[in-house]
Amino acid sequence: MSDLFTDDYAASADAADPLRRFRAQFHMPRFGDVEQAYFVGNSLGLQPRGARAQVEDVLDKWAMEAVEGHFRGNSQWMTYHGLVGAQLAEIVGAQPEEVVAMNSLTANLHFLMVGFYRPTAERPAILMEAGAFPSDRYALESQVRFHGFDPATDLIEVQPGDDGLFGIDAIAAAVAEHGHRLALVLWPGVQYRTGEAFDLAEITRLGHAAGAIVGFDLAHAAGNLPLRLHDSGADFAVWCHYKYLNSGPGAVAGAFVHARHADTDRPRFAGWWGHDASTRFRMGPDFQPTPGADGWQLSNPPILGLAPLRASLDLFTEAGMPALRAKSEALTGYLATLIRSELDAVLDIATPADPARRGAQLSLRVRGGREQGRNLFEHLAGNGVLGDWREPDVIRISPAPLYNNHADVLRFVRAVQRWRDA
Ligand SMILES: *Cc1c(COP(=O)(O)O)cnc(C)c1O
């Protein structure tokens, strides 16, 4: 048995954790008399305790000020979406003018593709990963069709290796093969099923060298990995805020448009909230976009939906992505080490072993096959250890560095052992 596999070790590692105070800033779901060991922050992040006050502030303002809430005070609704811009930019490594909180993830993907997917007869194709999150595939396939092209030839899905992983070589080979036909490379920051993380700058370099636009879906990367979106050179990116960014079910999503496109005359689907803020209320007939990401907005934003984001981003700002990443590597490394030392006969780790190629999440396969996997998953949930199940055979366990700790990881390992030994 490993020395690390003891309550003493977990307790001392948690006591030495510089971010340990953040756990108390969240509502931890209960399992009977104890807290759940919650490993599903990659699906729905926990509620920050500060979220309720932010939502109540909006409700109070609405109750007391009604329409004048648009124009009064620091948190006036006219500029409310901008309250989160600077913090968001810091988290994804962008300039404040490059990011905006708006709509939902899939909607942002479509709206940005209006400008950034401009297929021609010579260059009609999109390159994406095989096995992508279904919404992304539906969005890309429908965009190809919308432009009158054929997904069978123009939606190119890169196949992973036998281990289910891509690695940069598979992407480079696909770009080399199809580069002359590519209008767009759309890639995840972290693949949702395997947890494989990608080098955004390198993918951008490959795509641009082939003459394609490069966009990213950062649903599983934002708030998980320290990103440098501006420096990566990516043309655009989208993400959601309800996973690692803890802003609640269906939270308002995020979008990035690189500064080099700030004044682009690419086509876009316009709405009044994207109009230059200084002249928006002249209510003129001609659309003048706000430079930068703000110019891609359509509607006045759902203020109640944005409110929890403020509470969550304050915690990220206070903790800082470098410290979060350091803890994340330690915690996920601890989980991986114990799986190898204590559970090697039971579980196979599908996520890359190299910490540089993964984020918080480990994707696990039960060696006995799918039915055994389902059985273990249900045993865990029945014992207060919550991961999630992704068909056909993956259990995802994602320690979130803001609120998970080494003791949670021990509970996971012991619960798997009890199942194995039963
Ligand atoms: C979570 C997730 C989505 C969800 O899309 P919504 O528009 O927010 O419902 C889409 N794509 C990926 C890759 C995801 O991980």
Answer yes or no: do 102 and 195 share one domain: yes
Q: Is 105 in the pocket of ligand 1 (CB under 6 A)?
A: yes
In a domain, 77, yes or no: yes
In a domain, 2, yes or no: no
Q: Is 396 in the pocket of ligand 1 (CB under 6 A)?
A: no
Helix (H) or strand (E) holding 214: strand 213-217
Q: What is the pLDDT of residue 273?
A: 95
Answer yes or no: do 88 and 202 share one domain: yes
Q: What is the pLDDT of residue 280?
A: 87
In a domain, 1, yes or no: no
Q: What is the pLDDT of residue 282?
A: 86
CB within 8 A of 14, min separation 6: which ones?
20, 405, 406, 407
Q: What is the pLDDT of residue 122?
A: 97
User: How would you classify residue 131: left for phi > 0, otherwise alpha for psi between -120 and 50, otherwise beta?
Assistant: left
Helix (H) or strand (E) holding 419: helix 406-421
Q: Is 195 in the pocket of ligand 1 (CB under 6 A)?
A: no
CB within 8 A of 286, min separation 6: which ones?
none
In a domain, 296, yes or no: yes
Measuring CA to CA, how many Å separate 142 from each of 105, 145, 167, 343?
Answer: 16, 5, 27, 43
| Domain boundary, last residue among 300, 317, 334 | 317
Q: Is 106 in the pocket of ligand 1 (CB under 6 A)?
A: yes
Q: Is 269 annotated as a binding residue?
A: no
Q: What is the pLDDT of residue 310?
A: 97
In a domain, 116, yes or no: yes
At 20, which CATH number? Answer: 3.90.1150.10
Measuring CA to CA, how many Å separate 347 from each of 154, 286, 329, 344?
Answer: 38, 60, 20, 6
Answer yes or no: do 402 and 331 share one domain: yes
Q: Is 5 annotated as a binding residue?
A: no
SS3 content of the chain, % helix, strand, coil (to 5): 45, 15, 40
| Distance, CA of 395 to CA of 417 (rounded, Å) | 16
| Domain boundary, last residue among 270, 295, 317 | 317
Q: Is 220 in the pocket of ligand 1 (CB under 6 A)?
A: yes
Q: Is 237 in the pocket of ligand 1 (CB under 6 A)?
A: no
Q: Is 117 annotated as a binding residue?
A: no
Answer yes or no: do 257 and 406 share one domain: no
Long-range contacts at 161-167 (CB < 8 A, ≥ 24 apart): 163/350, 164/131, 164/193, 164/194, 164/350, 165/194, 165/196, 165/352, 166/129, 166/191, 166/196, 166/198
Å from CA of 135 to ligand 1 middle: 6
Residue with CA closest to ligand 1 atom 1:
219
Q: What is the pLDDT of residue 365?
A: 96
CB within 8 A of 146, min separation 6: which ones?
none
Å from CA of 132 to ligand 1 middle: 10
Å from CA of 5 to ligand 1 middle: 35
Q: Contact, 359 vs 197, CB < 8 A?
A: yes
Which of 355, 361, 293, 278 minimizes the C-alpha distance to 88?
A: 293
| Domain boundary, last residue among 287, 317, 347 | 317
Q: What is the pLDDT of residue 1?
A: 60
Q: Is 188 in the pocket of ligand 1 (CB under 6 A)?
A: yes
Half-sphere exposure of 326 (CA within 13 A, CB side): 9
Measuring CA to CA, how many Å separate 77 from each of 70, 73, 149, 262?
Answer: 4, 9, 41, 24
Measuring CA to CA, how many Å separate 306 from each of 214, 247, 255?
Answer: 28, 8, 14
In the chain, the number of structural domains is 2
Q: Is 272 annotated as a binding residue?
A: yes
Token couple for 105: 């993830």
Phi, psi of 113 (to 5 degrees): -70, -25
Å from CA of 389 to ligand 1 middle: 16
Token couple for 415: 């619960």
Q: What is the pLDDT of residue 156?
A: 98
**Maximum distance among all Cα pairs of the chain, rounded to whole angstroms:** 73
Answer yes or no: do 364 and 334 share one domain: yes
Token couple for 386: 């919550």
Taking only the tens of pLDDT, the chain with its 422 residues reads 678 999 999 999 999 999 999 999 999 999 999 999 999 999 999 999 999 999 999 999 999 999 999 999 999 999 999 999 999 999 999 999 999 999 999 999 999 999 999 999 999 999 999 999 999 999 999 999 999 999 999 999 999 999 999 999 999 999 999 999 999 999 999 999 999 999 999 999 999 999 999 999 999 999 999 999 999 999 999 999 999 999 999 999 999 999 999 999 999 999 999 999 888 888 888 999 999 999 999 999 999 999 999 999 999 999 999 999 999 999 999 999 999 999 999 999 999 999 999 999 999 999 989 999 999 999 999 999 999 999 889 999 999 999 999 999 999 999 999 999 99
Residue range of the domain that includes 276: 54-317
Q: Is 105 annotated as a binding residue?
A: yes
Q: What is the pLDDT of residue 284?
A: 87
Q: Is 129 in the pocket of ligand 1 (CB under 6 A)?
A: no
Alpha helix positions (H), 257-302: none
Task: Tell whether pTM > 0.85.
Answer: yes
pLDDT tens-digit series, residues 357-385 = 999 999 999 998 999 999 999 999 999 99
